[in-house]
Amino acid sequence: MAEVTLTIDGKQVTVPAGTTVLDAARSAGIFIPTLCHDPELTPWGGCRLCVVEIEGMRNLPASCVTTVTSGMVVHTASPAVVEARKTIIELLLANHPQDCLTCGRNGDCRLQDYAYMYGVREPGFTGERHSYPIEDDNPFIVRDLNKCILCGKCVRACAEIQGKNIVDFAYRGFNTKVTPAMDSTLAGSDCVFCGNCVAVCPVGALQEKRLRAAARTWEVKKVRTTCPYCGTGCTFDLNV
Ligand code: FES
């Protein structure tokens, strides 16, 4: 297979042609934060947190959907990149409940991790906030759309891992949300509650009801397991 050599943060990196900048950086041990990316799902490029600076380009491309080219020079933590990431985190927090202390995902939330990592202590922007009712009408999953960051991982996990297409994006602009058809609840849809969507959610929008009631995130460990429902044998991470 053809290989491509590029420079990332001053380090020469050689990867197979077709590799994304994100994967090339990771292969060299260079950290780039991600929210909507998951190696088991189709890259989407929606959250923009993985932006990098590439010499010769005027914008900051998302590294998870940008393919490496020979001689490319990438900076993953330049002042412009750090500033862009901080702004993205501030924008997300501007419409996100500030209840980390009592959130069931406290200590296991990517948004919380990155806010801490980039020194974002306040939302930075004020404006309208969502006030969705918390969906709690099934025995397995609590869905709090007020905490959803629209990363689309649950949409792709449902379609690509479980093959169900139960949830998708609906509405437009500020009103965009992820929901089953006809804006029903999960209980009112054909959801089999396999838990793949919960396993990939990076924030507190989707939580296992049993876990939320029984333990804090640091009291459990993630194990690789197999969904028992449809017999396909899909594997995913489960908290035990
Ligand atoms: Fe690349 Fe979200 S992780 S755009």
| 33 CA: nearest ligand 1 atom | 3
Q: What is the pLDDT of residues 25-47, one digit of tens each?
A: 999 999 999 999 999 999 999 99
Complex ipTM above 0.95? yes
Task: Tell me 62's DSSP state.
Answer: B
CA of 162 to the centre of ligand 1 (A): 22
Q: Which protein residue has the closest C-alpha to ligand 1 atom 3? A: 34
Task: Tell me 161's DSSP state.
Answer: I
The reported pLDDT for the residue numbered 232 is 66
Same structural domain for residues 49 and 96?
A: no
Range of the domain at 201: 86-239
The reported pLDDT for the residue numbered 88 is 97
E strand or H helix that includes residue 140 = none
- CA–CA separation, 224 vs 235, rounded Å? 7
- CA–CA separation, 220 vs 211, rounded Å? 9
CA of 49 to the centre of ligand 1 (A): 5
SS3 201: coil
The reported pLDDT for the residue numbered 223 is 76
- CA–CA separation, 61 vs 64, rounded Å? 9
Same structural domain for residues 94 and 71?
A: no
Between 12-21, 106-115, 188-197, 213-222, the lowest mean confidence (pLDDT) is in 213-222
Same structural domain for residues 71 and 91?
A: no
Same structural domain for residues 194 and 106?
A: yes
Same structural domain for residues 112 and 200?
A: yes
CA of 105 to the centre of ligand 1 (A): 21
Name the residue of 64, 85, 110, 201 to mutate for ligand 1: max ligand atoms within 8 A of Cβ: 64
Pair type for strands 222-226 and 235-239:
antiparallel
Q: 229 pLDDT exceeds 70? A: no
CA of 215 to the centre of ligand 1 (A): 30
Same structural domain for residues 208 and 94?
A: yes
Name the residue of 26, 35, 150 to mutate for ligand 1: max ligand atoms within 8 A of Cβ: 35
CA of 229 to the centre of ligand 1 (A): 31
Q: 228 pLDDT exceeds 70? A: no
Out of 56, 77, 98, a domain closes at 77
| 34 CA: nearest ligand 1 atom | 3
Same structural domain for residues 114 and 192?
A: yes
The reported pLDDT for the residue numbered 236 is 65
Same structural domain for residues 32 and 113?
A: no
The confidence band for 239, taking pLDDT boundaries of 50, 70 and 90, is low
Name the residue of 20, 31, 34, 40 to mutate for ligand 1: max ligand atoms within 8 A of Cβ: 34
Out of 77, 97, 121, a domain closes at 77
Out of 77, 98, 119, a domain closes at 77
Q: What is the mean pLDDT of residues 97-118?
A: 94
- Which residues does ligand 1 sit against, CB inside 6 Å? 34-37, 45-50, 62, 64
- CA–CA separation, 68 vs 152, rounded Å? 24
CA of 22 to the centre of ligand 1 (A): 9
Over pLDDT 70: what percentage of the chain? 92
Domains held by the chain: number: 2
